[in-house]
């Protein structure tokens, strides 16, 4: 009988066919008293601790400043919401429903709001100063916080005062964005002086690295400082790229980053940039503390048009089509009509005064009409206050000379009158084009319309300027105007055509107002 047997199990007699027993035996071997130190160390790995580079200090300071700005903005917004909602003359206890409980709620709201901004990543060093992305993260963190507050109040059956939220949310968010804007302005100013920059090594082909280097040089506010490049072939392969020394080959990028104390390694699209190579480079950069920045072979495409879709661990960047037609343009047309009507009503009297001055100081009509090329290559009549002497179009070759070309405009045009120079300096001569906006020939914002002789010189790329209505102002007008080289002007116009948005139009109009009062590059 089974109950009459005494069964003895020898722990050392482990059948080799039992995998669980083998595991137990291995655990005993490495964790028992007789385990040897070298056996335990054979399975030990050292997790790399990233080096804190030269940028770590100013990035920590920047994060602290953003935290202080957020705390001040949120506290002011919440405090204003509380004091406008409740009568300050009424004495309330801490838990008295009418006001005392909202004191406690306000404290929690301030702490939660600041925490939500941090969780949204709005204070990350690579995000601060980036502009649109920084503002979007701040907005997402704010709306997420108030969404959570609404859910909690609903579940707890707490009747949150709507007037309290109606003041706190918009005021707090407005102050928050204002604080970030001030911090961004201060950061960009420091970067223009050479401070708060990340030492960067560029990796890739010579052509791609050279193009990226030029873009980084133009965008000083981005905070990258190119200290060297790594190209195919290495140091002995070629001369410096755009004046930047070649420090090594593509395969030596991690070693070069460690040697020059780099804060970032930017890899452009090239033949050797395979997924396996990029992954290995990311691993090799971990001990150096330098961050890997992957630059896709795609330029002048705004972030809203990019959709990142992960496919089996690989991020795929999808580019949506530009919005040349559709509901967006209906909204743009409504915005143009409303904006042009308001601006024309405000500036009508000054325009009449300027028109009278034009007539009194030179022979000819006050209003100048000229054929320009607009949407889809269609000609239209554009209006301006006359700033030149009568018959100046016939003297065009005398004014321009041998340098004439697309976008060319002489600094000292002999055809311009004395009053005309004043009108051009402050762009007053362009305001009659508001009539063109109301007629539908032009938009408030868009590429500037050109004459037929200039449009005939367009290549297939430049013709994309004609995909949208020409504008009273545009991106290149607020980015340097006539002081910009031709290729830069075209690039800015094409960027606008491909990536325009109503919010972007509002930003350009605001920047235009600044240019009108503080003109540069206008002649």
* Per-residue model confidence as pLDDT tens digits over 46-84: 666 666 666 777 888 888 999 999 999 999 999 998 888
- For 315, the enclosing helix (H) or strand (E) is strand 314-319
Say whether both 164 and 232 belong to one domain. no
Instruction: Look at residue 480 and tell me whether its pLDDT is greater than 50.
Output: yes
pLDDT band at 397, cuts 50/70/90? low
Instruction: Say if pTM beats, i.e. exceeds, 0.75.
Output: no
Of 281, 299, 317, which one is at a domain's C-terminal end? Answer: 299
394-419: average pLDDT = 63
Say whether both 246 and 168 belong to one domain. no
Say whether both 102 and 221 belong to one domain. no
- Paired with 230 in beta bridges are 203, 248
Asked if residue 47 belongs to a domain, the reply is: no
Say whether both 22 and 61 belong to one domain. no
Instruction: Look at residue 16 and tell me whether its pLDDT is greater than 50.
Output: no
Q: Which residues of 219-253 are buried (b: 16+ CB within 10 A; e: fewer)?
A: eebbbbbbbbbbbbebeeeeeebbebebbbbbeeb
Residue with structure tokens 């400082």?
A: 225
* Per-residue model confidence as pLDDT tens digits over 79-124: 998 888 775 544 544 445 555 677 888 889 999 999 999 999 999 8
Q: Which DSSP symbol is given to 249?
A: -
Instruction: Look at residue 391 and tell me whether its pLDDT is greater than 70.
Output: no
- What is the model's pLDDT at position 15? 46
Say whether both 144 and 204 belong to one domain. no
Asked if residue 90 belongs to a domain, the reply is: yes
Say whether both 154 and 16 belong to one domain. no
Please state, in angstroms and rounded to a whole number, the distance separating the CA atoms of residues 69 and 521: 35
Asked if residue 306 belongs to a domain, the reply is: no
458 Cβ contact list (under 8 Å, min separation 6): 406, 465
State which residues form the domain around 451.
327-517
Asked if residue 357 belongs to a domain, the reply is: yes
Instruction: Look at residue 169 and tell me whether its pLDDT is greater than 90.
Output: yes
* Per-residue model confidence as pLDDT tens digits over 368-389: 999 999 999 999 999 999 988 8
432-457: average pLDDT = 92
Asked if residue 287 belongs to a domain, the reply is: yes
Say whether both 181 and 203 belong to one domain. no
Asked if residue 304 belongs to a domain, the reply is: no
Exposed, middle or buried by CB within 10 Å (0-12, 13-18, 19+), for 323?
A: middle
For the chain, give percent helix, strand, coil, nearest 5: 55, 10, 35
Asked if residue 312 belongs to a domain, the reply is: no
Asked if residue 473 belongs to a domain, the reply is: yes
Say whether both 245 and 341 belong to one domain. no
Say whether both 63 and 176 belong to one domain. yes
Say whether both 33 and 125 belong to one domain. no
Say whether both 149 and 211 belong to one domain. no
9-27: average pLDDT = 45
Of 135, 159, 192, which one is at a domain's C-terminal end? Answer: 192
- What is the model's pLDDT at position 130? 80
Instruction: Look at residue 262 and tell me whether its pLDDT is greater than 70.
Output: yes
CATH code (residue 231): 3.40.50.720
- Per the structure, the count of domains in the chain is 4
pLDDT band at 472, cuts 50/70/90? very high
Structure tokens at 481: 């105007």
User: How far from 262 is each of 55, 235, 257, 266, CA to CA, in Å?
Assistant: 9, 18, 5, 11
Structure tokens at 95: 């838990």
Phi, psi (degrees; rounded to nearest 5) at 346? -75, -35
Say whether both 64 and 144 belong to one domain. yes
Phi, psi (degrees; rounded to nearest 5) at 75? -65, -40
Structure tokens at 258: 């460690």
Residue with structure tokens 């709201």?
A: 109
């Amino acid at each position: 009988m089974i109950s009459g047997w005494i069964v003895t199990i020898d722990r050392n007699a482990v059948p080799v066919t039992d995998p669980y027993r083998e595991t137990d035996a291995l655990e005993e071997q490495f964790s028992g008293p007789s385990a040897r130190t070298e056996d335990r160390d054979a399975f030990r790995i050292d997790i790399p601790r990233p080096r804190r580079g030269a940028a770590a200090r100013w990035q920590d300071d920047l994060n602290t400043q953003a935290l202080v700005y957020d705390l001040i903005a949120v506290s002011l917004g919440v405090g204003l919401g509380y004091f406008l909602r409740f009568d300050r003359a009424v004495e309330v206890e801490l838990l008295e429903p009418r006001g005392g409980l909202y004191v406690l709620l306000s404290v929690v709201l301030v702490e939660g709001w600041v925490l939500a901004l941090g969780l949204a990543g709005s204070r990350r060093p690579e995000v601060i100063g980036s502009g649109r992305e920084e503002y979007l993260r701040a907005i997402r963190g704010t709306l997420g916080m108030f969404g959570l507050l609404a859910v909690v109040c609903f579940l707890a059956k707490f009747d949150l005062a709507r007037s309290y939220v109606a003041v706190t949310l918009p005021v707090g968010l407005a102050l928050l964005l204002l604080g970030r804007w001030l911090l961004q302005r201060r950061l960009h100013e420091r970067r223009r002086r050479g401070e708060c920059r990340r030492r960067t090594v560029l990796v890739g082909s010579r052509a791609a690295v050279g193009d990226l280097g030029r873009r980084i040089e133009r965008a000083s506010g981005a905070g990258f400082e190119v200290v060297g490049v790594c190209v195919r072939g290495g140091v002995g392969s070629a001369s410096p790229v755009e004046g930047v020394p070649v420090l090594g080959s593509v395969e030596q990028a991690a070693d070069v980053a460690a040697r020059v104390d780099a804060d970032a390694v930017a890899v452009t699209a090239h033949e050797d940039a395979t997924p396996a190579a990029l992954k290995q480079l990311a691993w090799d950069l971990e001990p150096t503390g330098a961050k890997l920045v992957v630059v896709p072979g795609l330029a002048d495409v705004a972030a809203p048009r990019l959709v990142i879709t992960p496919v089996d661990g690989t991020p795929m960047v999808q580019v949506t089509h530009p919005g040349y037609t559709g509901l967006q343009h209906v909204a743009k047309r409504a915005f143009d009509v409303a904006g042009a009507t308001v601006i024309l009503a405000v500036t009508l009297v000054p325009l009449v005064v300027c028109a009278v001055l034009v007539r009194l100081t030179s022979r000819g009509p006050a209003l100048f009409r000229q054929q320009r090329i607009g949407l889809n290559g269609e000609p239209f009549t554009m209006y301006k206050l006359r700033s030149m002497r009568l018959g100046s179009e016939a003297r065009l070759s005398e004014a321009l000379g041998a340098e004439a070309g697309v976008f060319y405009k002489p600094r000292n045009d002999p055809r311009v009158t004395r009053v005309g120079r004043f009108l051009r300096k402050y762009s007053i001569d362009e305001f009659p084009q508001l009539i063109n906006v109301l007629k539908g020939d032009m938009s408030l914002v868009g590429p500037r319309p050109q004459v037929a002789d200039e449009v005939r010189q367009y290549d297939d790329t430049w013709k994309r300027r004609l995909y949208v209505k020409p504008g009273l102002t545009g991106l290149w007008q607020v980015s340097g105007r006539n002081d910009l080289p031709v290729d830069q002007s075209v690039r800015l116009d094409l960027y606008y055509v491909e990536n325009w948005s109503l919010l972007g139009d509002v930003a350009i109009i605001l920047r235009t107002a600044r240019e009108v009062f503080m003109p540069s590059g206008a002649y």
